[in-house]
Amino acid sequence: MSWPKETPYKRYPSDLTDEEWEIVEPILEKLDPYTTGRPRQVDLREVLNAIFYLNKTGCQWRYLPKCFPSHTLISYYYHKWIDHNIFEQINTQIRQQLRKELGRNENPSAGIIDSQTVKGTPESAQESGFDGGKLIKGRKRHIVVDTMGYLIIALVHAANIHDSRAAREVLVALFSVVDTIKKIWQIALIKVRNLFNGSKKSLTAFLKWLKKIKPLKVFRLCLGDGSWSEPLLGSVDPDA
């Protein structure tokens, strides 16, 4: 792939292009405004470039190239943005903009859930596990995307956590981000009965607890055979 002409510096493929920065800059300035003291002098674009470089190469903080701001400054902004869910909010706003441009509602009404297991590294040894199904020792990530493939939520955990247990945590995280989901397609391995230990009572208790966290609308899960479960909340069928 040829190097994009709009790339500001001929340095690293992980650097933001001008087009990407035009999208991210107003969102970042809105989410992390600087309202007190002297005007902010640090270049937030370079901070993001450094974070993307770290993520892509896996290098240590102190090994960041000298063309970036100091590693202590990058670390400060990284942990600040993690603590305030800035990256999740940026992802949400970009997803909403893309959906609007394509004539869709800002927030999706359906999602797709899936998981993937990858081998761990020595640094992740304490949070790794063995996936007996895929015979891989490492980490597992669960994601939910909308029907256009845009990311809604992602959770990373040890690979030995079963999909049925992890999926419940994913649903809690999902409805804390969007409350418009009515349908969720799932892979065949994640059965509704497994999600709630095969007990209708467990399902009811879980949904009541989930509703306390975030008021929910009716939603349904797609079963492994392609059919849909009964409405899981309320008494109104979302397709009625």
Report long-range pairs for 168-171 (Cβ below 8 Å, ≥24 apart): 168/195, 168/196, 168/206, 169/142, 170/113, 170/142, 170/144, 171/210
Q: What is the pLDDT of residues 209-229, one digit of tens each?
A: 445 545 545 556 555 555 655
CA angle centred on 177, ends 227 and 216, rounded to 5°: 55
CA distances from 96 to 106, 113, 152, 178, 216 (A): 5, 19, 10, 11, 20
CB 108 within 8 A of CB 179: no
Highest-confidence segment of 46-50, 137-141, 152-156, 186-190 = 46-50
pLDDT, mean of residues 156-176: 82
Q: What is the pLDDT of residues 15-25, one digit of tens each?
A: 998 888 999 99
**First-to-final CA distance of the chain:** 48
Q: What is the pLDDT of residues 48-73, one digit of tens each?
A: 999 999 999 989 999 999 999 999 99
Helix spans in the chain (H):
18-31, 44-57, 71-83, 86-101, 163-177, 192-195, 200-213
Q: Give dist(CA 71, CA 178) in Å, integer.
A: 34
In one-letter notation, the amino acid at residue 127 is E
Q: Give dist(CA 184, CA 218) in Å, integer.
A: 11
Residues 6 or more apart whose Cβ sits within 8 Å of residue 16: 24, 45, 48, 49, 52
Q: How many residues does the chain have?
A: 240
The pTM (predicted TM-score) of the whole model is 0.69
Residues 6 or more apart whose Cβ sits within 8 Å of residue 19: 6
pLDDT attached to residue 106: 92
Rg (the chain; Cα; Å): 21
pLDDT attached to residue 123: 67
CA angle centred on 143, ends 137 and 145, rounded to 5°: 155
pLDDT at 207 over 60: no
Domain positions in the chain: 18-84, 106-221
Token pair listed for 147 = 């029907």
CB 128 within 8 A of CB 153: no
pLDDT attached to residue 202: 47
Tell me which CATH code domain 106-221 carries.
3.30.420
pLDDT, mean of residues 109-135: 80
